[in-house]
Amino acid sequence: MNNNKTFQDALVRLEDVLQHIRLVDDVRERLSHPKLSLTASIPVRMDDGSLRVFTGYRVQYDDTRGPTKGGIRYHPHVDLDEVTSLSFWMTIKCAVVGLPYGGAKGGVEVNAKELSRMELERLSRGYVRAVADILGPERDIPAPDMYTNATVMGWMCDEYAQIVRRQEPAVITGKPVHLCGSLGREAATGRGAVYALEEWARRRGLVPSETTVAVQGFGNAGYHFARLADRAGFRIVAIGDSQGAIHAAQGLNPDSVMEHKRNRSELRAFYCDASVCEEIPYDRLTHAELLELDVDVLVPAALENQIDAGNAARVRARQILEVANGPVTSEADRILRERGIPVLPDVLCNAGGVIVSYFEWVQNRNGYYWEEEEVNARLKTIMDREAAACFDLAEARSVSPRTAAYLRAMERISGAITARGTREYFNHGPQA
């Protein structure tokens, strides 16, 4: 535990927004506390016969606008503070893009890389048994997050079905396609971020082929963002993962880099033409050096709190696009704002994943499934609309894109809370 540092920093963003909007006390009070927090011990029989007990969490932050929605991550540093922060951001994110959801998040404190596949399955099923009482298609719908994937979601959905003794595919999203998952879900987070970047570039007069991009984090979201941004014409000049980073001024091919990472477990720079690949000159960088590269767009796509008060003054990117959740602290936000570096916020830019998770939930409940082209088109419609609205609001109110996104979310959340009655209504309002 880290004394709620991340969660308290997340609430600073809420206080910043309240300077630009008047909310009734009920809304402020409701959004300052999670609705439900669950900590569970998960016993797992390991392959060698020993028993290990892992700690798991599930936080449902707010369900005013609908059932709660949020991923499950496996990471050694997962704790209740982190999960609470992520559930708060999910509440804001779902409201920013207009989904009929509240926010939730889950996690297990574990290094998933150290587990065998059978141990991972036992852990995943054990997690569902621990939290099943608070899950449901109309209550709380998990999805994949860091170091979980479609296979893990398939195990979890199957375990839930065994517990309730019926098939409930809508209880979890991000499942394998053959287990009622949605086409387009795997790349959705990265794809949505590219749509947001394209809208921003159009407004700023950025020419994609002349716009350099550095991506910190090369997991699912970071890889698909880099791949799709490259296809959209942007020049990906740096890529980093947990082992380090590479930089090539002439540009990198994200697909070739990922292929080498999968085969050799390291990042290398290749240019591929048809079936012929050759290594190109590149520099090796540290994580700190990647974050401080002189590029047009810096894309933190790994963990939270990567840009803080200690390194924000050394950031040289002209703009930052958050694909990770909470990669820029509130203090770093202030420093970057003073330096004139706009930050395109996570609660807008990485919403593609939850949008397509919503599509999957809708398809599961209807029993009717869409082609991938329809999924991507619907995703683009929502991202284009909400990104344009946030950027328009930022310009009209002379506030940062993050503040504009929060203002848009607050309008929707506040409307839902006040519609149920507030102190002002009950003490002074007219009769219904």
- Same-domain pairing of 193 and 88: no
- Same-domain pairing of 345 and 198: yes
Q: Does the model's pTM come out above 0.85?
A: yes
Q: Which tens digits make up the pLDDT trace of 30-61?
A: 888 999 999 999 999 999 999 999 999 999 99
Strand partners, 140: 68, 136
- Same-domain pairing of 110 and 74: yes
The span from the CA of 32 to the CA of 44, in Å, is 35
- Same-domain pairing of 76 and 142: yes
CATH number of the domain that 328 lies in? Answer: 3.40.50.720
Q: Which tens digits make up the pLDDT trace of 94-151?
A: 999 999 999 999 999 999 999 999 999 999 999 999 999 999 999 999 999 999 999 9
Whether 281 shows a pLDDT value over 80: the answer reads no
Mean pLDDT of all residues belonging to the chain? 92
Tell me the mean pLDDT in the region 146-167. 97
- Same-domain pairing of 127 and 206: no
Percent of the chain past pLDDT 90, that is, above it, reads 77
- Same-domain pairing of 244 and 120: no
Q: Which of 331, 349, 367 is the last residue of a domain?
A: 349
- Same-domain pairing of 251 and 339: yes
Q: Which residues are the active-site residues?
A: 105
Domain that holds residue 235: 188-349
Query: How would residue 276 be classed by pLDDT, with cut points 50, 70 and 90?
Result: very low
- Same-domain pairing of 133 and 252: no
Domain count, the chain: 2
CATH number of the domain that 75 lies in? Answer: 3.40.50.10860
The CA radius of gyration of the chain, in Å to the nearest whole number, is 21
Whether 429 shows a pLDDT value over 70: the answer reads no
Least confident of 171-175, 193-197, 277-281, 356-360: 277-281
- Same-domain pairing of 332 and 199: yes
Task: Assess if residue 228 is contained within a domain.
Answer: yes
- Same-domain pairing of 342 and 297: yes
Please name the residues in contact with 339: beta carbons below 8 A apart, sequence gap of 6 or more.
312, 313, 315
Q: Which tens digits make up the pLDDT trace of 7-21?
A: 888 788 777 787 888
The span from the CA of 361 to the CA of 364, in Å, is 5
Give the model's pLDDT for residue 209.
95
Highest mean pLDDT: which of 270-274, 344-348, 424-428? 344-348
